[in-house]
Amino acid sequence: MDLQALRYFRIVAREGSFSKAAQTLCYAQSNLSTKIRQLEEEVGTPLFYRHAYGVTLTEKGETLLSYADQLFRLLLEAENAVKEDGTAKGTLSVGAMESAAITFLPELLAEYYRAHPRVSLDVRTGVSEVLLRGVLDYTLDGAFVAGATGHADLASCPVRRERLALFSSASFRAGTPLSMLLAGPILVLPHGCSYRRILERWVSEAQIFSERAVTFDSIGALLASASAGLGATLLPESIATAYTAAKTLTPHPVPEPYAWADISFVWRKDRFMDSTLQSFIGLVRAANRSGTGESRNP
């Protein structure tokens, strides 16, 4: 099977049309169509449905695309392995929950960059579930996530334990019953967030059912809304120190087993471990051993 034809096939699949793919490749559309038709003849099945709006993959096309993506990833890893000289360089793509990205991660990134200035850092934030998916599909080199990370294809190292608190506006004093704190909506991050999952499990098992949830894609907006009295939210204590110091938020204790979130750094077991990723994992492990990555221990 011709690698060039597979490359063209992947670009057509990504662009969703022969004309857009031809523009991307700076290649004649008629020649591109011929290449794909020859590939379809070689594999003995249509790979695309052609329609007025472009093309979509057939079931067999989806299968071939999955294998083609793996093939080109392995080719890139082979090239990187040959070029590996023990120096951290290139791009390191790191995923992180927003709470991590604004608390302990900046110090780690600054230390890493001082030691490895030839590395370009690409930091992407999201909820744990999305970040795990990014690591599994090779779009992230690794990610900081909360909760269980026992996937068979993933390796991980512990980073810290986060003590959680339920935050409400300052109009609620310490000791306010949970039923009163949750009389209004709960304020949460999108589905896939570990803190949201813990809060939903807590209120369900306590048989206290909040009337609704308000979903935010920003912790800053969520905390500001909690301060304004919109509702209560569950987050790490470390994320809201400025609000609690200014007495615009009241933290309320969380009972076991809902009071802690374990943060880990995860990466794929089967990916090529170049010096860039190895050195970052080494830094994360060193921070954990020295205690600089810890929040509060039970």
* Residue ranges matching CATH 3.40.190.10 in the chain: 90-161+261-290, 163-260
- The superfamily CATH assigns to domain 90-161+261-290 is Periplasmic binding protein-like II (3.40.190.10)
Looking at the domain covering 163-260, what would its CATH class be? alpha beta
pLDDT digits (tens, 9 = 90+) for 205-236: 888 766 688 999 999 999 999 999 999 999 99
* Residue ranges matching CATH 1.10.10.10 in the chain: 3-83
* φ, ψ of residue 119 in degrees (nearest 5): -90, 130
Q: How far is CA 1 from the centre of its chain?
A: 34
pLDDT digits (tens, 9 = 90+) for 58-113: 999 999 998 888 888 888 777 767 776 677 788 899 999 999 999 999 999 999 99
What's the pLDDT score for residue 210?
A: 65
Place 241 in a pLDDT band, splitting at 50, 70 and 90.
confident
Q: Mean of the pLDDT values across residues 118-122?
A: 94
Q: Mean of the pLDDT values across residues 165-172?
A: 92
Looking at the domain covering 3-83, what would its CATH class be? mainly alpha
pTM of the model: 0.76
What's the pLDDT score for residue 137?
A: 86
The answer to whether residues 11 and 25 touch, using CB atoms and an 8 Å cutoff, is: yes
The answer to whether residues 162 and 228 touch, using CB atoms and an 8 Å cutoff, is: no
pLDDT digits (tens, 9 = 90+) for 255-281: 988 999 999 999 999 887 888 999 999
What's the pLDDT score for residue 129?
A: 93
The answer to whether residues 94 and 142 touch, using CB atoms and an 8 Å cutoff, is: yes
Q: Mean of the per-residue pLDDT values for the chain?
A: 88
Identify the top-confidence range among 85-89, 141-145, 184-188, 246-250: 141-145
